[in-house]
């Protein structure tokens, strides 16, 4: 499945900068409408290390009202969490009515990292598929919108990004020996990911595979997917699309100026 994904999808940086203000404004309006109509939503971000999950989430939430969403960066369960049923810590993070919960990694770690690294038994990770589908079904039946992303890049692209990060003094800390160890097991993770996508693809919790070689294409697709899902859930309660704001050009110009400043600072280092 994933091997057939076209990883050469592109979207120019110039076009991305042009459409970004409108996408962020539309998502802000939908966030407000979801709050007013008590529509909860969950955004799940899974994918390869260095595929751009963190930067995509940062852009997605840049212009949202921080009172309306919570970001959960999921790591390995702590000692006391291991004494509870494995989904317990995720139930605690489900959103209240009207809120958006964003997961940078999620309960899918059970059938990815924990499976491949042998942290759980085969019986446990196989049973997790049923647990996950039931977990998401209960949330969806309670009215929660579930949007799941798999950010996909090839093995060569991942290696290229790791090398680029290691060569940057300010970013090298982000690449760890564990990242390289997972990179060497790319084939095993690919098999686990494909099985995960197949067994947890449901009407109430569909997956969106994001071709993430081009970051601009990836972010545009993520915005479009979230916007469409929230509009569909809100129906007639969805706010009308605002006309292009007169200050959109000013917004683009401000972003360009900030980029120039950042590049100038980087050159002086």
Q: What is the pLDDT of residues 143-192, one digit of tens each?
A: 999 999 999 999 999 999 999 999 999 999 999 999 999 999 999 999 99
**Rounded CA gap, 180 and 158, in Å?**
10
Q: Indicate the average pLDDT of the chain.
A: 93
What confidence score (pLDDT) does residue 51 get? 97
The answer to whether 212 touches 47, Cβ cutoff 8 Å, is yes
**What does the pLDDT average to over 99-109?**
98
Length of the chain: 269
In contact, 100 and 31? CB cutoff 8 Å:
yes
pLDDT of residue 90: 98
Lowest mean pLDDT among 60-64, 75-79, 212-216, 246-250: 246-250
Domain ranges of the chain: 2-268
The pLDDT value recorded for residue 128 is 98
**CA 20, 21, 24, 26 torsion: positive or negative?**
negative
Q: How far is CA 15 from the centre of its chain?
A: 22
What's residue 3's pLDDT?
Answer: 85
pTM: 0.91
Fold of the domain spanning 2-268 = Rossmann fold (3.40.50)
At how many degrees (to 10) do helices 186-199 and 177-184 cross?
80
The band of 209, judged by pLDDT with boundaries at 50, 70 and 90, is: very high
Cβ neighbors of 133 (< 8 A, separation 6 or more) are: 199, 200, 202, 205
> Sorting pLDDT into bands at 50, 70 and 90, what band is 64?
very high
Looking at residue 251, its pLDDT comes to 64
Please give the backbone phi and psi of residue 146, each rounded to the nearest 5 degrees, phi first. -115, 120
Q: How far is 157 from 51, CA to CA, in rounded Å?
A: 9
Q: Is the pLDDT of residue 264 over 90?
A: no
**In the prediction, which pLDDT does 15 show?**
96
Above 80 in pLDDT, residue 263? no
For residue 261, is pLDDT > 90?
Answer: no
114, 116, 119, 124 alpha-carbon torsion, rounded to 10°: 70
For residues 70-86, average pLDDT:
95
Q: State the average pLDDT over residues 78-91.
A: 96
Is residue 258 scored above 60 in pLDDT?
no
pLDDT computed for residue 259 by the predictor: 62
Query: pLDDT digits over 36-56, tens only?
Result: 999 999 999 999 999 999 999
Cβ neighbour number for residue 162 with a 10 Å cutoff: 19
Confidence tier at 249 by pLDDT (50, 70, 90): low
Q: List % helix, strand, coil for the chain (3-state, nearest 5).
A: 60, 10, 30
Return the SS3 of 103. Answer: strand
Residue 60's pLDDT is 97
Evaluate whether 100 touches 40 at the Cβ level (below 8 Å).
yes
pLDDT at 262 over 60: no
**Local confidence band at 200 (pLDDT 50, 70, 90 cut-offs):** very high
Question: 43 has which bridge partners?
Answer: 102, 147
More confident residue, 220 or 257: 220
**How is residue 253 written in tokens?**
């110009």
């Amino acid at each position: 499945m994933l091997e057939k994904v076209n990883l050469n999808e592109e979207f120019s940086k110039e076009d991305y900068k042009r459409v970004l203000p409108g996408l962020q404004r539309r998502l802000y309006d939908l966030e407000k409408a979801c709050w007013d109509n008590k529509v909860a939503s969950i955004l799940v971000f899974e994918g390869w290390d260095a595929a751009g999950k963190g930067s995509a989430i940062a852009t997605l939430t840049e212009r949202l009202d921080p009172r309306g969403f919570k970001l959960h960066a999921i790591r390995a369960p702590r000692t006391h969490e291991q004494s509870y049923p494995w989904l317990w810590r995720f139930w605690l993070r489900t959103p209240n009515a009207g809120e958006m919960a964003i997961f940078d990694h999620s309960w899918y770690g059970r059938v990815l990292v924990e499976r491949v690294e042998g942290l759980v038994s085969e019986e446990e990770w196989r049973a997790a598929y049923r647990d996950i589908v039931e977990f998401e079904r209960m949330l969806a039946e309670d009215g929660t919108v579930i949007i799941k992303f798999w950010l996909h890049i090839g093995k060569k692209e991942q290696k290229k990004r790791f090398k680029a990060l290691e060569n940057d003094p300010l970013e090298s800390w982000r690449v760890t020996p564990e990242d390289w160890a997972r990179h060497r097991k790319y084939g095993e993770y690919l098999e686990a990911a494909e099985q995960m996508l197949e067994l947890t693809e449901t009407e109430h919790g569909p997956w969106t595979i994001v071709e993430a070689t081009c970051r601009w294409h990836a972010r545009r697709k993520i915005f479009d997917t979230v916007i469409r899902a929230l509009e569909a859930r809100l129906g007639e309660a969805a706010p009308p699309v605002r006309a292009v704001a007169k200050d959109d050009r000013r917004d683009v110009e401000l972003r360009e100026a900030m980029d120039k400043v950042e590049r100038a600072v980087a050159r002086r280092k």
